[in-house]
Structure formats: structure tokens, C-alpha cells
């Protein structure tokens, strides 16, 4: 008789906690949660080997709704907790969920260093361009001139662009997706999950109460084809309902320009091919001004480089191999003196 025991196949239900999910009716967070719970079984990682970490904000309720380990930490400091977890137990799958306020305002410095260090964690940044939990103040991603409860005469700040922030911090994986596009979000999340290093995913998420329809200009069914560009590695940067528009390099400015196939002799050969390993192109895609250009979604940038944990643990093992630890000798070495 065979004594081989087959591991039960994981399902979405395995990642659903017993907590009542409580966000405002119609909030984009529901869609993100459902997509994450559908995606997790595909990784083949048992729930007890997964950790979700969050800071403060509407998005930060996420760990309660995942049947995994979780930490609901303090405002802006979730990356520090995630780093400690990852360094202490490299075998865990560590996910960090944050918002545009939690991650880019009080937590900007922590997030910057997590990204540049290439810590092996997955960061989901929910961007609704507003402070939702604290009732509608402007956030670091709110548009210039936008009237909010804290800026009734208009936002005076130039907004942060999360994707270009991550690329500028030397992120090794930077992507975007939209809360209402489940299929595309699943593809992006799977790519992020399989990336070795910090995977940064900006998710455009609608706040129905304090910033409703913030992204309708490029996410609504009658607008998305003309104003949204789904990038795919190795494929031309085409968009439009007829896929008759594309991006090419303007030889005068060396920047991007929109070209229409069939006009002025433009063919598909003139259209730029997306290379997700080119950080210069990725930054240009992230920074395209809307509505003159479409909004780029998908994997903007992905490259392979050593992770922080791998480098640090390799250094520790190398030191152990070449020296015999002597605590007393170590304490008496270097800049020491006797009083």
C-alpha cells in the first residue's frame, strides 16, 4: 500500500478569513481582496507560510480578511515590520499592503528604502488619490488644484506618481493595474508574486465616498480603450479601440509621442516595442501626461538583481566561515578603553 499523501489543492476559500469584510459599499478594495484571494492558491504556498503586513488606512484592514498570518502595524511603518519578518524568516512569503497616504506621506522614507534595498517582499499600493479613512483630505497623489476637505481652494502641491517613484528608487519590479479589471490584475499580481525581490504594484482604486470616479477618464468602459495602454514585454505599444494608435520616439525631443497608423506613412514598424528591462522607457511610460497620452498599465519595469536578504545572509555566512567567534575578544577589540 502506498504511503504517499497528496497535498490538498488550495482554493480561494482557504485564504478567506472568518472576519466580516467592512469597507464602504462599492469600494474598490472589495475587488482587490477578491482578486488576491483567487490568485494566492495559484502560488501553491500554504496560508501558514504567508504574511500580510499593513500600516494605517482603509487598505490596511486587508490582513484581517486574509486567512494567513498578518500584522496591522503603525502609520507608514509597515515596510520596517515587513523587513524584520523577511530577514528573520526568509522562507515566508511576505506581502505589504498600503495606500497613497500611508505609503507615500508619513511612510515615504520607509517605502523608499524597502524598494531600493530590493527586499524580497510584494508591495500593493492602493492609490485612490485621497485620504479615505480620515474623511477626504488631499493625499500625496491628489491632483494639483483639486478641491478637498483640507484644500477647499485647490491642492497646492504637485502630486507624487507612485510608479515613477518606485522606478526612481531603483525598484526591480514596477507595475500598475486597475481595481475593476480582474483578469489583468490577476496577471500582474502573479508576475509580482513570482518576482524575486521587491515587487511594487500600484493599483488604481476608486473611493466611492470621497473621490468617486477619479479614474473614469481612462477606466470607464467607453473610455479605457482610447485612454489606457496595456504594456506587454516584446510587443508594440499600441492602444485605441482599433489598436491604431501607438507610441514612438520623437527624434526632436527624444521623448515619446503618439502616432496614428496610416497617417503620414506611419506603420506598426514605427511603433516602439515594450522592453520591460529598460528603465528609461519605463520611466517615460510612467510619467506620460494624461490626456495627451494614455495611462500605461501592466509591468512597466522588471529586472533581476540580488535581494537584500540574500546579500546580508551571504555576508554573515562568509564571516562565520573565516573566523572563530570569540565574544570576549570581540568586546575588547577596536575603540575600547579601561576606566
Task: Determine the pLDDT at residue 321.
Answer: 85
Over residues 223-248, mean pLDDT:
97
Residues 319 and 339: their CA atoms lie apart, in Å, by 31
Say if residue 151's pLDDT is above 50.
Answer: yes
Tens of pLDDT, residues 160-181:
999 999 999 999 999 999 999 9
Residues 218 and 118: their CA atoms lie apart, in Å, by 31
Q: Which fold has domain 12-214?
A: Rossmann fold (3.40.50)
Task: Determine the pLDDT at residue 322.
Answer: 82
**Which residue ranges make up each domain of the chain?**
12-214
Over residues 205-216, mean pLDDT:
95
Task: Determine the pLDDT at residue 339.
Answer: 76
CB count within 10 Å of CB 304 equals 12
Task: Determine the pLDDT at residue 1.
Answer: 44
Task: Determine the pLDDT at residue 6.
Answer: 57
Q: Across the chain, what does the average pLDDT equal?
A: 94
Say if residue 93's pLDDT is above 90.
Answer: yes
Tens of pLDDT, residues 257-271:
999 999 999 999 999
Contacts of 188 by beta carbon, 8 Å cutoff, 6+ apart: 175, 176, 177, 201, 297, 298, 299
Comparing 338 with 28, the larger pLDDT belongs to 28
Residues 243 and 201: their CA atoms lie apart, in Å, by 25
Residues 33 and 231: their CA atoms lie apart, in Å, by 24
Say if residue 116's pLDDT is above 90.
Answer: yes
pTM, entire model: 0.92
Residues 304 and 310: their CA atoms lie apart, in Å, by 13
Task: Determine the pLDDT at residue 3.
Answer: 54
Tens of pLDDT, residues 262-308:
999 999 999 999 999 999 999 999 999 999 999 999 999 999 999 99
Q: Cβ(161)–Cβ(287) under 8 Å? A: yes
Name the residue with cell 537584500.
Answer: 308
Amino acid at each position: 500500500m502506498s504511503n504517499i499523501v497528496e497535498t490538498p489543492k488550495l482554493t480561494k476559500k482557504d485564504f478567506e478569513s472568518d472576519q466580516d469584510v467592512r469597507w464602504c459599499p462599492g469600494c474598490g478594495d472589495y475587488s482587490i481582496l477578491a482578486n488576491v484571494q483567487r490568485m494566492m492558491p495559484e502560488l501553491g504556498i500554504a496560508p501558514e507560510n504567508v504574511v500580510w503586513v499593513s500600516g494605517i488606512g482603509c487598505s490596511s484592514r486587508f490582513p484581517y480578511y486574509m486567512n494567513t498570518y498578518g500584522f496591522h502595524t503603525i502609520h507608514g511603518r509597515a515596510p520596517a515590520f515587513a523587513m524584520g519578518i523577511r530577514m528573520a524568516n526568509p522562507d515566508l512569503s511576505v506581502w505589504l499592503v498600503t495606500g497613497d497616504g500611508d505609503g507615500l506621506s508619513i511612510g515615504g522614507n520607509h517605502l523608499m528604502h524597502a524598494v531600493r534595498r530590493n527586499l524580497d517582499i510584494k508591495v500593493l499600493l492602493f492609490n485612490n488619490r485621497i485620504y479615505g479613512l480620515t474623511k477626504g483630505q488631499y493625499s500625496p497623489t491628489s491632483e494639483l488644484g483639486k478641491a478637498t476637505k483640507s484644500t477647499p481652494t485647490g491642492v497646492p502641491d504637485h502630486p507624487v506618481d507612485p510608479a515613477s517613484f518606485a522606478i526612481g528608487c531603483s525598484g526591480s519590479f514596477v507595475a500598475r493595474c486597475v481595481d475593476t479589471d480582474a483578469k489583468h490584475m490577476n496577471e500582474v499580481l502573479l508576475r509580482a508574486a513570482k518576482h524575486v525581490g521587491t515587487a511594487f504594484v500600484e493599483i488604481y482604486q476608486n473611493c466611492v465616498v470621497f473621490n468617486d470616479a477619479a479614474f473614469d477618464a481612462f477606466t470607464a468602459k467607453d473610455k479605457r480603450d482610447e485612454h489606457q495602454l496595456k504594456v506587454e514585454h516584446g510587443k508594440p505599444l499600441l492602444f485605441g479601440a482599433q489598436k491604431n494608435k501607438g507610441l514612438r520616439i520623437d527624434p526632436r525631443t527624444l521623448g515619446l509621442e503618439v502616432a496614428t497608423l496610416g497617417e503620414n506613412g506611419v506603420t506598426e514598424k514605427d511603433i516602439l516595442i515594450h522592453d520591460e528591462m529598460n528603465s528609461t522607457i519605463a520611466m517615460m511610460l510612467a510619467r506620460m501626461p494624461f490626456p495627451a497620452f494614455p495611462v500605461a498599465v501592466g509591468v512597466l519595469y522588471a529586472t533581476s538583481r540580488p535581494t537584500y536578504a540574500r546579500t546580508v545572509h551571504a555576508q554573515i555566512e562568509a564571516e562565520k566561515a573565516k573566523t572563530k567567534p570569540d565574544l570576549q575578544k570581540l568586546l575588547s577589540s577596536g575603540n575600547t578603553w579601561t576606566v
